[in-house]
Each structure stands twice: as structure tokens, then as C-alpha cells.
Amino acid sequence: MEVVAYLDHAATTPLRPEVVEAMAPFVDQRYANPSGAHALARDARRAVEEAREEVAELVGARPAEVVFTSGGTEADNLAVLGTLARCAGPAEAVCSSIEHAAVLSPMRAAAQRTAAVPGVPGIGLHEVPARADGVVDLDALAAVLGHQTVLVSVMTANNEVGTVQPIAEVARVVRALAPRAVLHTDAVQAAAYLDLAEVTAPCDLVSLSAHKVGGPKGVGALVVRSPHDVVPLVLGGGQEQERRSGTHNVAGIVGFATALRAAVAERPTERARVAQLRDRFADAVLGAVPDAIETVPRTATLPGHCHLRFEGLDHDELLVVLDRGGVCASAGSACASGALEPSHVLVAMGLDRAQARSGVRFTLGRTTSAEEVDQAAAVVASAVASLRSGC
Ligand SMILES: Cc1ncc(COP(=O)(O)O)c(C=O)c1O
């Protein structure tokens, strides 16, 4: 298999070499369980706590506020279910309709479960629409907030179209209209490019994932800003201050901190470099396929995102031809690719089924080069031309 261009960095990013190096001793010689009582255990525990301090500092939290999890999905579930489990009496939860399934599914499950139990006060759920430009509709958000609202979740940046959400404004509206609400943001996609210490400062809960910043898969964190707390989902040995039981993934946690540190250090230069390459790619495709449509304005997205629609084509067919041409891209979130349903994000933005199924997400990142994007643009242009000509 010859890969011409890996343009699927929003699905996952290649491991950084320094991360591989930092993780290696913990896969091999420094293998102890950090909860143990001997020298080797203390060594592993020190590594976990140093990583915690580092992650905390990089995202503007205190070390005690960082709960390591098995990734972004678990962090989102812990934020949603761990908050709603604390609510007694009738309550309402609110999220944007363009959230990742890791937020939408637990929100819907909690609402359905409580609705199904007679005599138990239910949790009402409001899914707030997005505007056509992929940004959550703040007026619609304000309209559903109130004293009954116990949880609001709006992502920092969308994984499919890449739109950066107005978290500061969301927080202002939530604090003004829903004083009881815990505010959660899923910052999984934003971590590589935005200053999370600043952007997520008004949020009570923040979800992170290592593999979107050049770290390993299967590790992430939920920042739980005091005085809020979450009811644990995983019970057992009481690790992570009773918030998340299970033997620590020491190598993964060390890799996560190393990756985040590297991402933050290179962020200023990478933001500009990646945005320039994204523009070069988008312009080249639009030059060769003039009726291609940019789904959202580039200025509103993370620098690596380029979501294009090719009217009349179906993304599944296009992705097969792109794959044959060595271009790795996707139809939306990695979990949804292969599914026949149109993207819930594009539908929430007001696109019809055919329009939604004509969209492809190209995401650039740290390893992307000019040569790669030029080759990819040529492959995209010829794939569209061949599908349109029926060949
Ligand atoms: C916005 C967002 N949230 C959550 C997740 C899930 O993270 P993980 O793959 O670490 O479970 C992803 C992964 O694609 C994502 O893009």
C-alpha cells in the first residue's frame, strides 16, 4: 500500500518520536504498578504524578483536577454521566447537536434511562442546533437554559468540519441564565492548536485525548475543576482519587504528557504552517474542481481542517477512489465512517441527506508537507473527474 498523503489527522495523529522514546522505559524496565509500596512502584508513581503536573500546567488546571482516563470517549462519558448521576430531582441537560457521539450518546442514554423509570424525576435533554456555518446557535442555547439546567456541554472545536466554538460566549450565557449548571467542553480536537488554558478557563469540565496531539491511543483525561466533582463510572481500586479505578496506563500517561508538551511548544509555528498548507490544498482542489464547495469558511476552523463537498458524488465512492490513489481522508468522525447515515453534524447545519453525503473531511497536521498536499489535490481532482465521467 503506497500512501501518497495522510490527510486524516483529526482521526488520529502519528506518534511523535520523542513520545515513543519517553514511553519505551515504561513498556519495558519501569513496569511496576504505581499503586504498589516498593521502590519500583514509587518510580512509576512519580512518573504518573510528573505527567499529571505537566498536563495540568499545559491546560491551566491544578494537578489534583486532572483525572486520567482511557481516552476522550471515557472523559466525555465521565463528564456527562458522572455529573448527571449527582442530580436529584427534575433536571435538564443541554448540548450542541454537533457534539461528538461520545457526548451525544451518554446524554441521550441518561435521558432515556430516567424517562423509562416510573417515579424517578427525569432528565430532560435539549440538543441545541448549529447555524449553517457550523457554529452553535447562541440564541437557541440561551432559550433553553434555566434554573433546571444542571449540565451544558459544548465542544471547543468540532471534529468533522473543524469549526471553533465560541466557548467564552457560551460560558457567559450559561453563567447568566443557568447558575446551577456545570459547563463541560470536549477539547479533544482543539488541544493541538488552541491555548486550552485560556479557551477552556471558564469551563468546569474539560475532555482531552492523547492521540490527537501525537500521543498514544487509549489515554486521555478529564479536567474536573474544583469545587465540581463527578461520580465515578469505573469502580474498583479507587485510583485517581476514587474518580477512575483501574491500574494506571503508565506508559500512555507519560506519552500523553510528552505529546502535549511538544504540541504546545510548536503550536505558534504549526498553526501558521498547517493553515498555509491547508489553504494551498483547498485552493488547488477548488482550482481543479471549481464547483467543489467549502462546507464552512476557513477562517472559522482549526488550521488543519478542510471540509469539501462535491455535489452529485457520494463520499463513500469518493473515499474508495481516493484510497486507491493513496490519499487517506474520511467522511467525518472516524467512528461514523462506513456508516450509511449522513453525518449528524452536517444535517444539524441544515444540509440535506445528499449534500451531507457529498462531504469529505481532509485534515492536515504535524507531518503534512507541501509535496503531500500537492499530490493529494491532484488525486482528488482526478478522482472527482473519473467518478463524474462514470469511469
Ligand atoms: C471531538 C472528539 N471527542 C471525543 C473523541 C473520542 O476520543 P478517543 O478516540 O480518545 O476516545 C474524538 C475522537 O475522534 C473527538 O474527535
Per DSSP, what are the bridge partners of residue 208?
221
Ligand 1 pocket, residue 95 CB under 6 Å: no
Structure confidence at residue 57 (pLDDT): 97
241 and 305 in a single domain? The answer is: no
Residues in Cβ contact with 72 at an 8 Å cutoff, skipping those fewer than 6 apart: 100, 102, 186, 188, 207, 208, 209, 212, 220
Candidates 298, 198, 257; CA nearest to 66 is 257
218 and 180 in a single domain? The answer is: yes
Q: Are strands 220-224 and 66-69 parallel, antiparallel or unpaired?
A: antiparallel
Q: Which residue has the higher pLDDT, 287 or 116?
A: 287
Confidence at 335, pLDDT banded by 50, 70, 90: low
Of 232, 261, 290, the residue at which a domain comes to its end is 261
37 and 149 in a single domain? The answer is: yes
Residue 46 burial (CB count, 10 A): 12
Q: Which residue has the higher pLDDT, 144 or 112?
A: 144
Half-sphere exposure of 151 (CA within 13 A, CB side): 36
Ligand 1 pocket, residue 71 CB under 6 Å: yes
Ligand 1 pocket, residue 100 CB under 6 Å: yes
User: What letter does residue 8 receive in the DSSP assignment?
Assistant: B
Of 227, 261, 295, the residue at which a domain comes to its end is 261
DSSP string, 80-143: HHHHHTT--SSEEEEEETT--HHHHHHHHHHHHHHHTSTTSPPEEEEEEPBPTTSSB-HHHHHH
Structure confidence at residue 115 (pLDDT): 72
Contact 383, 325 (CB under 8 A): yes
Expressed in angstroms and rounded, the spacing between residue 335 Cα and the centre of ligand 1 is 9
Query: Of residues 95, 306, 335, 391, which has the active-site annotation?
Result: 335
Confidence at 17, pLDDT banded by 50, 70, 90: very high
Note the pTM of the prediction, 2 decimals: 0.96
Helix (H) or strand (E) holding 222: strand 220-224
Condensed to tens digits (0 to 9), the pLDDT of residues 129-151 reads: 999 999 999 999 999 999 999 99
Expressed in angstroms and rounded, the spacing between residue 370 Cα and the centre of ligand 1 is 27
Ligand 1 pocket, residue 160 CB under 6 Å: no
Of 261, 295, 329, the residue at which a domain comes to its end is 261
Structure confidence at residue 113 (pLDDT): 82
Cell of 30: 519501569
Task: Give the separation between CA 87 and CA 306, rounded to whole angstroms.
Answer: 40
Query: Is residue 198 in some structural domain?
Result: yes
Helix (H) or strand (E) holding 152: strand 149-153
Domain count for the chain, please give it: 2
Q: Is 335 a catalytic residue?
A: yes
250 and 271 in a single domain? The answer is: no
In which domain, by residue range, is 367 found?
5-14+266-379
Q: What are phi and psi of 291, to 5 degrees?
A: -90, 10
